[in-house]
């Protein structure tokens, strides 16, 4: 949708003229205010950032041209201004991600996934981060910006240790991630396929379903396990998820957040637990930050948990251990 804002001349401008610099400054202020308020309103509910762009235009009064045509020109030029801004932002974003990849500025931290129904550890989730002090330091921002720049395949290939951090279906066709090349890589790290869980977002599994299923078969035949992320985030592809027969389902953190205080969230989790049990899939609850959330998950019979309450991401030296290493989209 597009909205128009018509400005009158500045009161302090004796000549009564609006300058281009005034319009540009006003557009910048409006854009900053809108995006700031939009972020506060949508961040608890939407995965991914939404950005509003504000263009501007200036036309001169011409008595030989009908006012309607002047307004039409004004709208078209303002719309073109926003289009150019979006192209510039996309180009700048792509350059930033390319520079991060070229400079090898991606680091990996490992967050434990804990058994909620007894002692022990299931494994670790590999979380990739960009340079410290930038928006890309957030794993979510890093992968969202890489996706917007169509550089997810390249980002997968640059993941340290070649653990699949945020697996995209197209990446499964990379020759370096298939067959004997992958087996040799894992052997060099002291890992075996049955200790690796390949994780894909429910959104990407559904949007690229045919491609994903075809590629997935090659990996499961090699002994890899599969996890589907973002369960409960709002996508409606549970029927297709069932056909994937994943070993693990990861509850989205928005479903887990304050689950102890929300009857609706608990009932949703209970229904999804029944769904998982019928597939013989284990559940991992993401984003556990309070004891009340942990206890609610325990009471629901959820198998495993992950979150700051149970352990923050840290460095990990990869070596043969008895627990599998879980690799997934960072949250």
Q: What is the 3-state secondary structure (H, E, C) of 93-106?
A: HHHHHHHHHHCCCC
Give how far the C-alpha of residue 76 lies from the chain's centroid of Cα atoms, to the nearest Å.
34
- Same domain for 56 and 129? no
Confidence grade of residue 142 (pLDDT, cut at 50, 70, 90): confident
- Could you say which of 52, 72, 99 is where a domain stops? 99
Mean per-residue pLDDT over the chain, rounded: 77
pLDDT digits (tens, 9 = 90+) for 196-225: 888 887 666 666 677 777 778 888 888 888
Asked if 111 and 313 touch (Cβ cutoff 8 Å), the reply is yes
- Same domain for 121 and 95? no
Domain that holds residue 281: 105-327
Most distant pair of Cα atoms in the chain: their distance: 83
pLDDT confidence of residue 112: 81
- Separation CA 207–CA 198 (nearest Å): 17
- Could you say which of 99, 117, 152 is where a domain stops? 99
Asked if 294 and 108 touch (Cβ cutoff 8 Å), the reply is no
- Separation CA 288–CA 253 (nearest Å): 8
Q: What angle do CA 307, 196, 230 make, to 5 degrees?
A: 45
Residue 39 in any domain: the answer is yes
Residue 244 in any domain: the answer is yes
- Same domain for 40 and 131? no
Q: Is the pLDDT of residue 270 over 60?
A: yes
Asked if 127 and 330 touch (Cβ cutoff 8 Å), the reply is yes
pLDDT digits (tens, 9 = 90+) for 144-166: 788 788 887 677 655 443 343 45
More confident residue, 209 or 106: 106
- Same domain for 54 and 159? no
- Of all residues in the chain, what percent carry a pLDDT higher than 70? 74
- Same domain for 153 and 86? no
pLDDT confidence of residue 53: 84
- Same domain for 211 and 319? yes
- Separation CA 45–CA 128 (nearest Å): 23
Please compute the mean of the pLDDT values over residues 55-72 and round it to a whole number.
Answer: 86
State the total domains in the chain.
2
Confidence grade of residue 331 (pLDDT, cut at 50, 70, 90): very low
Q: Is the pLDDT of residue 256 over 90?
A: yes
- Could you say which of 69, 99, 129 is where a domain stops? 99
Domain with residue 250: its CATH number is 3.20.20.450
Q: What angle do CA 253, 134, 55 make, to 5 degrees?
A: 90
How many Å from the N-terminal Cα to the C-terminal Cα in the chain? 30
pLDDT confidence of residue 161: 35
Residue 10 in any domain: the answer is no
Q: Which residues make beta-bridge pairs with 128?
A: 108
- Same domain for 143 and 71? no
Q: Is the pLDDT of residue 189 over 50?
A: yes
Least confident of 80-84, 120-124, 205-209, 246-250: 205-209
- Same domain for 145 and 273? yes
Query: Which residues, 6+ apart, have CB-to-CB distance to 155 below 8 Å?
Result: 97, 101, 106, 128, 142, 143, 146, 166
Name which of 218, 146, 152 is nearest 182 in CA terms: 218
- Same domain for 180 and 264? yes
């Amino acid at each position: 949708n597009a909205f128009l804002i018509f400005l009158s001349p500045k009161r302090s401008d004796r000549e009564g003229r609006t300058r281009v610099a005034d319009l540009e400054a006003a557009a910048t202020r409006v854009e900053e205010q809108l995006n700031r308020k939009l972020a506060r309103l949508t961040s608890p509910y939407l995965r991914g950032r939404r950005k509003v762009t504000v263009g501007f235009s200036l036309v001169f009064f011409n008595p030989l041209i009908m006012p309607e045509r002047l307004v039409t020109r004004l709208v078209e030029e303002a719309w073109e201004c926003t289009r150019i801004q979006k192209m510039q932002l996309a180009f700048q974003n792509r350059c930033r991600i390319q520079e991060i990849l070229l400079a090898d500025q991606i680091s990996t931290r490992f967050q434990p996934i804990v058994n909620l129904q007894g002692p022990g550890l299931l494994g670790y989730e590999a979380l990739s981060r960009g340079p410290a002090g930038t928006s890309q330091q957030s794993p979510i921002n890093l992968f969202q910006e890489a996706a917007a720049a169509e550089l997810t395949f390249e980002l997968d290939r640059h993941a340290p240790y070649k653990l699949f951090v945020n697996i995209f279906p197209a990446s499964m066709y990379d020759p370096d991630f298939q067959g004997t090349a992958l087996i040799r890589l894992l052997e060099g790290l002291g890992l075996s396929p049955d200790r690796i869980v390949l994780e894909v977002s429910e959104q990407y599994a559904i949007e690229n379903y045919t491609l994903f299923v075809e590629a997935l078969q090659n990996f499961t035949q090699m002994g890899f396990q599969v996890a589907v992320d973002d369960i409960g985030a709002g996508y409606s592809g549970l029927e297709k998820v069932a056909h994937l027969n994943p070993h693990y389902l990861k509850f989205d953190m928005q479903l887990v957040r304050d689950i102890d205080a929300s009857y609706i969230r608990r009932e949703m989790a209970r229904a999804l637990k029944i769904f998982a049990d019928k597939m013989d899939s284990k559940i991992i609850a993401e984003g556990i930050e309070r004891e009340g959330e942990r206890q609610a998950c325990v009471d629901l019979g959820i198998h495993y948990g992950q979150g700051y309450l149970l352990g923050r991401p840290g460095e990990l030296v990869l070596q043969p251990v008895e627990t599998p290493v879980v690799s997934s989209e960072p949250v």
